[in-house]
Amino acid sequence: FNEPEAVLILVKSDETHNHSVLFNRVRDLTAEIWFGRRLGQDAAPEKLGVDRALPFDEIDEQLHLLFNGLDVVYHAQGEYAYADQIVYSALDILRRGFRKNLRAPATLTDWRPWLHEMRLFKSAEEIEAIRRAGEISAMAHTRAMQKCRPGMFEYQLEGEILHEFIRHGARFPAYN
């Protein structure tokens, strides 16, 4: 999902209950004319498989409610200062709200080491997706070589590569 101002919250309440909440931008037809389509809240559950989608503008009012009563919050501390501010603010609300039956998580843990470990192992579907991405990349670079002419600018070759990516169903490059 490649939209700015989007935050995915995955909540494991206990051994049998999990849910996901996406905070993302609301649909705005005028802004979409200039900056591209936005998924919005109505389409997100079906398109992305999340349980709920809420406007990003509501994250400051809603995040502490999602964190309330959890034992652990996993967050990539220091990765993005703005995200740190959002998470720390929600935790602060919970810490100050003990008289209102709010309970802050006892632990804030970095999830990156676990994710890096998981990246070492690929399922058959992931291997096939990587293989397909490699095929598409090869076709895109072949196209760029075929279209390359003296005097061309780099952005023109980039356009040829992106054209081939999109033509084969890859909306964005998998690398930069």
pTM above 0.75, yes or no: no
Structure confidence by residue, pLDDT tens digits, 157-170:
999 999 999 999 99
Q: Is 23 exposed, middle or buried (0-12, 13-18, 19+ CB in 10 A)?
A: buried
Work out the pLDDT band at 176, boundaries 50, 70, 90. Answer: low
Residue given tokens 């720390």 in the structure block: 88
pLDDT of residue 78: 95
Which superfamily does 7-118 belong to? Creatinase/prolidase N-terminal domain (3.40.350.10)
Q: Which among 30, 14, 24, 36 has a CA at the least distance from the CA of 172?
A: 36
Query: Would you state the pLDDT for residue 14?
Result: 77
Mean pLDDT of the chain: 94
Tell me, what's the pLDDT at 113? 94
| Residue 156 Cα distances to 21, 85, 145, 146, 147, angstroms | 40, 40, 12, 13, 9
Per-residue confidence (pLDDT) for residue 3, from 0 to 100: 92
- With cut-offs at 50, 70 and 90, classify the pLDDT of residue 55: very high
- pLDDT at residue 131 tops 80: yes
User: Count of CB atoms within 10 A of residue 36's CB?
Assistant: 9
Sorted by where each begins, the domain ranges of the chain are 7-118, 124-167
Q: Can you list the alpha helix ranges (DSSP code H) found in 3-123?
A: 29-35, 40-48, 59-67, 81-96, 112-118
Query: What pLDDT, on a 0 to 100 scale, did the predictor assign at position 171?
Result: 83
Three-state SS at 108: strand
